[in-house]
Structure 1
Amino acid sequence: MPESRAASIASFWDAAASSFDEEADHGLRDPHVKAAWAERLRSWMPSSPADVLDLGCGTGSLSLLLAEQGHRPAGVDLSPLMVEQARRKLATAGFDVAVTVGDASDPPAEAGASFDVVLSRHLLWTLPDPEEALRRWAGLLRPGGRLVLVEGRWAINAEPDDDRSYDVGSASLPWVGGVRAESLLRALRPLTADARVEPLTDPSLWGRPIQDERYAVVAFV
């Protein structure tokens, strides 16, 4: 990603960092929401301990759940303030987890080069070239590894220019507003041997009822 664009996107998420965990599914402060995500993660992960790359890790809530389940997460996020919060959250809980500032679409070498799982949640819509990112992520997986992609389509009528808050110039975000499950499966087909879709309609995951499309794709290489 061009440096100027990365800086603009990082600035956007830096501005959101202080209030990010106020959303029920971000901070997982509600024990019922936390338990719902812990149960889903457990069902998507291989037996522990697994090496998991948490891309677009934000404030580290999913990385913390993974560490609590005995896995070895590593986080990457473009926002320095998000990374700072993630490091603090994990350290406070007693876990030594590497969280790196970097472009999740092209993870930095210091994050690692070989994983059992690459995990992302609501990240693909933010990327200028999400299909290229998927190719890179699949290349980080060991034989038999899996992509776990928590996604959705929550802005049905969104157009590429609708998300002006990024202020990243004329280039569009192809999946702004989210991506439908069938479109994501189509992009994954050349990269993976098998993929399944799991609807995520349980209000416990979001702290409220939802009306839009939300799902997870678990895809194996």
Structure 2
Amino acid sequence: MEITQVIKKIGEYWDERSLVFDKEHDTEDLEAWKSTLVYLLGDDKNRSVLDLGTGTGFMANMTSEMGYATIGMDISKEMMKIGVRHANSAQLNAIYMEGSALLLPFMDDTIDYIINTRLLWTLVEADAAIKEWSRVIKPGGKIYCFNRMKEGVGLTSNKVNVYNDEDVNAHLEIKGAEMKDLIELLERNGLVDVRIEKLPGLTRPGYDYEPWFVLMGTKPISQRQIEAIGIAEFWNKSASDYEKTHQIDDHNNWKDTLKDLIGEKKEQKILDVATGTGIIANLLGQAGYANVSGIDLSERMMAIAVEHAKECQIDVSYKLGNALELPFEDETFDIIINSRLLWTLTEPEAAIREWKRVLKPGGKLIAINELEPEFGIRCDNIADYQKEIRAKELPYSNIDQNEILEKFKECDLKDVEIKPMKGCRLINSDRENWYAFIGLK
């Protein structure tokens, strides 16, 4: 039987059983559940919750009532209709969506928590499901699977053929999984800090049920992701004051210098990496280059860039992204350019290789930076910035210019050179210490 047919039959089964199922939660101690959820999810109510296999909304409505932005999702419309009625009666804001736990209609890294109750045993293609859940939760986000289990054993089912259909039942891969198997399921699909914890006291006294347990795991967050978040936060905070000290002088001279570096062909595809407030990207647009894009981690910096582009009536496109992981196909651009980016890079050689990846064969990399004559890049008080963005190191914050040229060569760039940018300076500065590091793919 095709998996789509299996899922359809499971949905139909729960549609028919929706009213009976809703009554089963009358056995639960709601206040104990709320305390448990606060313990697991924390006090930050700005976090988002996706309740998979939400059924009649027992968990979704509870987390919504507690203040979390909540979406409940299930393959059974009839079950969710009851959940919606409960939400409306209690004037709650939980959102309900029809959908399968195997294919979630959300972008990568967008949900803080995925929760579910008594869903595990019903999963078909369990590994695919966990991979999909992990895809949509944010780095550092968590998955919580609540289920009654036999202590020291794991999932149990009293019915041999739960859905009265042998083909469907054959797809329930983990219906009777042991606790160690459930932990392994999450671990082999990339989650960390995986464990199972017993949750006593959730069912009201007098009901002879197996106790509740929660299987939990965390989506790992890499050092690169930590640093990217820190960088975005820093420059978002700095956006409103950035241009006070970073405005360039003599725009015509800058345009002429950039033309000399880039070439006269106005149809070239140009990407300004870490574009900030769009100073270089918009200048290129004003100079007549027709295919200019800017990318940056800071939304607030780029918002200023977009406004400047509108003011100048030029067509420059802006996109959110990391200089270390560009959201573009291989060999997309003729020119990669950046300004005062080198000193901020946490992984400079990885960045150079990434820029080279998106360059077309024969394309040119131009990295502009202020230099101290004979010494290269020198940044004072770098420790404060490094601490704020939570970076392990900033290798190019103090580096000899010849060493940068050697790094370009090590990254397989050709015809590597450094060119002075004569007459280029900032407003209210008499220093002409701008240089361009250049290399070809």
TM-score band, normalised by the shorter chain?
0.7 to 0.9
Higher RCO by CA contacts (8 Å cutoff, separation 6 or greater): 1
Q: Quick one: distance in 2 between partners of 1:55 and 1:170? A: 19
Instruction: State whether structure 2 residue 292 is matched by structure 1 residue 73.
Output: yes
The letter for the 1-side match of 2:438 is V
Q: Return the match for 1:132 from 350, 355, 360.
A: 350
Q: For the aligned residues, what is the CA RMSD?
A: 2.4
CA shift, 1:44, in A, is 0.6
2:417 matched residue in structure 1: 196
The letter for the 1-side match of 2:353 is R
Q: Return the match for 1:40 from 252, 257, 268.
A: 257
CA shift, 1:133, in A, is 0.4
1:5 matched residue in structure 2: 227
CA shift, 1:109, in A, is 3.1
The letter for the 1-side match of 2:339 is R
Instruction: State whether structure 2 residue 171 is matched by structure 1 residue 171.
Output: no
The letter for the 2-side match of 1:38 is K
8 Å Cα contact 1:8-1:166 kept in structure 2? no
C-alpha offsets along residues 178-205 of structure 1, whole Å, 9 cap, x if unaligned? x432111101113212122112464x42
Instruction: State whether structure 2 residue 277 is matched by structure 1 residue 59.
Output: yes
Q: Return the match for 1:17 from 223, 239, 245.
A: 239
Q: Quick one: distance in 2 between partners of 1:166 and 1:35? A: 38
> Secondary structure of 1:53's partner?
strand
CA shift, 1:166, in A, is 4.8
8 Å Cα contact 2:346-2:392 kept in structure 1? yes
1:99 matched residue in structure 2: 318
Q: Quick one: distance in 1 between partners of 2:226 and 2:422? A: 37
Q: Note closer, same or farther for the CA distance 1:219–1:2 as it changes in structure 2 (3 Å cut).
A: closer
8 Å Cα contact 2:230-2:390 kept in structure 1? no
Q: Quick one: distance in 2 between partners of 1:133 and 1:170? A: 15
C-alpha offsets along residues 63-89 of structure 1, whole Å, 9 cap, x if unaligned? 111112222111001111001111111
Q: Note closer, same or farther for the CA distance 1:138–1:193 as it changes in structure 2 (3 Å cut).
A: same
> Secondary structure of 2:314's partner?
coil
> Secondary structure of 2:272's partner?
strand
Q: Quick one: distance in 1 between partners of 2:343 and 2:378? A: 13
CA shift, 1:158, in A, is 5.4
Instruction: State whether structure 2 residue 403 is matched by structure 1 residue 183.
Output: yes
C-alpha offsets along residues 39-77 of structure 1, whole Å, 9 cap, x if unaligned? 111111122121100001011121111112222111001
Instruction: State whether structure 2 residue 369 is matched by structure 1 residue 151.
Output: yes
Q: Quick one: distance in 2 between partners of 1:187 and 1:9? A: 23
Q: Quick one: distance in 2 between partners of 1:157 and 1:65? A: 26
8 Å Cα contact 2:333-2:359 kept in structure 1? yes
> Secondary structure of 2:403's partner?
helix
C-alpha offsets along residues 157-184 of structure 1, whole Å, 9 cap, x if unaligned? 858x62446523361111124x432111
Larger of the two Rg values belongs to structure? 2
* Residues paired across the two proteins, number: 211
Q: Return the match for 1:49 from 263, 267, 273.
A: 267
> Secondary structure of 2:383's partner?
coil
Q: Quick one: distance in 1 between partners of 2:235 and 2:391? A: 20
Q: Note closer, same or farther for the CA distance 1:97–1:113 as it changes in structure 2 (3 Å cut).
A: farther
8 Å Cα contact 1:49-1:70 kept in structure 2? no
Q: Quick one: distance in 2 between partners of 1:205 and 1:162? A: 26
8 Å Cα contact 2:297-2:321 kept in structure 1? yes
Q: Note closer, same or farther for the CA distance 1:54–1:45 as it changes in structure 2 (3 Å cut).
A: same
C-alpha offsets along residues 80-116 of structure 1, whole Å, 9 cap, x if unaligned? 1001111111122222322111112221238x85100
TM-score using structure 1 length? 0.84
Q: Quick one: distance in 1 between partners of 2:235 and 2:228? A: 11
8 Å Cα contact 1:147-1:218 kept in structure 2? yes
Structure 2 unaligned residues grouped into runs of 5+: 1-222
> Secondary structure of 2:252's partner?
helix
Q: Quick one: distance in 1 between partners of 2:279 and 2:232? A: 19
> Secondary structure of 1:188's partner?
helix
CA shift, 1:153, in A, is 4.0
Judge which range, 66-75 or 193-202, deviates more.
193-202
The letter for the 1-side match of 2:294 is G
> Secondary structure of 2:232's partner?
helix
Q: Quick one: distance in 2 between partners of 1:170 and 1:45? A: 32
2:303 matched residue in structure 1: 84
Q: Quick one: distance in 2 between partners of 1:156 and 1:84? A: 29
> Secondary structure of 1:162's partner?
helix
Q: Quick one: distance in 1 between partners of 2:277 and 2:387? A: 19
> Secondary structure of 1:43's partner?
helix
2:438 matched residue in structure 1: 218
